[in-house]
Structure 1
Amino acid sequence: MSTVRSPYFKRLRSSAPKKSKSNAPLTPALDSKKAKVTRTKVKLEPQDSFSGKFTGTKSNSHETKAYVNRKEVKQENPKWEPVLWKKQLANIRKMRQSKDAPVDTMGCEKCKGENYSEKDKRFHTLVSLMLSSQTKDQVTHAAMLRLIEHGLTAETVSRIPDEQLGKLIYPVGFWKKKVIYLKKTAHILKEEYDGDIPDDIDGLVKLPGVGPKMAYLAMTCAWNKVVGIGVDVHVHRIANRLKWVKSRTKLPESTRKELEDWLPQSYWREVNWLLVGFGQQICLPVSPRCSDCLNKDICPSSTAKTKMHK
């Protein structure tokens, strides 16, 4: 049999790569393929009509495109709230069942004259809130009784001499400044609101001597509209002691914003009343009665925790 090879075979053999003496891989085609796999890129692009699944299509350039709805991928962080707040609040409700704190009998809702119109009663609520700043409920209530007996409307306050008004409200805290605030507020209400009080927060806080706490409580107690939490020194103090704020707050207004951020609105009406009375009887500013508190084992600031909870 003839062993003569065709010219085509000789040309093909001569064009083949020569064997290298180096330690090059024996299967360059396979290595090249692996290199392409390692360089594969994945691009995430939104698709208008998303079916809820990832779908891929491979292109000629070895790039895989996966389509995904960004709204499906984005996960919102859960809303922050104190871990034990429901249990703590339930315990405070139990401690407030007797309703015998000063706020229960002498708070702003108890400072209304009987033989007055609804408009004048709303004015009474606002005046009691203005007098209550830096003043105990007992002192505020006594001053309100004197004012009501004298005749308490926006009209009468606008006409009463400053000296006489001062005698009626003394000894509430900062009584001299409050005389000025009451007279200016009465004039504004008489001229702009027909003797009534504003029915929104913006209008209330524009009145002389009226801050956010008073405005939110006036909306709740006078207008029966719960639009925010009234935070006084008691609510501010207790919210920080219970760690109902993410970090310690220095101002009551900061505490209000923190509470409203997580506390369900259905609790906004009662939380002021609950915490104020609780702060007047148990969670005192100085030397709180932790041993008498039902939250003593679950309050971060408790000084009377039992040994098993320490």
Structure 2
Amino acid sequence: MTTLLLIAIPVVVVLVVWLMATANRLDRLHIRTDAAWAALEAALDRRAVVARTVAATGAAHGELREIADHAEHAARSDREAAENELSRELAAVERARLPLALVAELVDAEQRVVIARRVHNDAVRDTLSQRRRRTVRWLKLAGTAPQPQYFEIAEPELNGEAAPVPRPSARVLLLDEDGRVLLFHGGNPSDADDTFWFTVGGGVEPDEDIRAAALRELHEETGIELDDKELVGPVWRRRAVFSFDGRSYDAEEWFFVATTPTTTVDTSGFNRIELDTIDEHRWWSAADLRSTTDTVYPVQLADLLPELLESEWDGRTKPVR
């Protein structure tokens, strides 16, 4: 009897420890699944908010606003169908008609839905795998926790590397006292023959105002620091699709005008990409621009620069190439 007890007690202890560990693991898996659903729901809600903003632009077909509202407030049992309907409506949106910043926000919202859904379904898979074990079912180790469900919707088509990356940009037509404009000369790292001159400026950071971005880029690339009131515009807007270092970009560039008394340019604020791709800078007159055979962006700079020099801005933002 004593021998039997000596054998039974360790077995019981091991069994109890295993059961407690299994129950704890199940508890953690349920917590993980709940957190994953909360993250997915937040991503879906954000997409609905962006969809309503898209609807307000008039670029969408059908009843996008109503469909987005229905998806956001649908019961869990109806959410999959509602989200699939929203995905179909968003796929039909003419994105070329949207402001580039909104395109970027929509792409980001769709990507977050894809990622959150995959994380959620991975958590559900692991939880269900544990719950289906025979011992777990017999001993009801899952307790009263409801069985998690996969969330099956058609993922938005993100088009991978082929889709141009939305890139809102703020640029500055920096003029000296003689009316010359500062341009940088650089090239495409993936194509040694693709060289060009371009204005001061760069990409707008998330949630950054384009005027603030223009002032920041100006300071980083030239060392010149201006107040907001010294920045005029945006006077021009340019939309272009281009390739740089093997990636395609859908750029929306907003051009401001500023004048500086100095022609000294401090490029110590260049980032790594700028250091690797920009080899010189130069102040250009309108006559220089008209006579050069080099590639200059924007293409219409030579024709439109005199107008900027001769008259005050009329408050309108003109499209340029």
Q: TM-score range by the shorter chain?
A: under 0.3
TM-score, normalising length: structure 2: 0.25
TM-score, normalising length: structure 1: 0.25
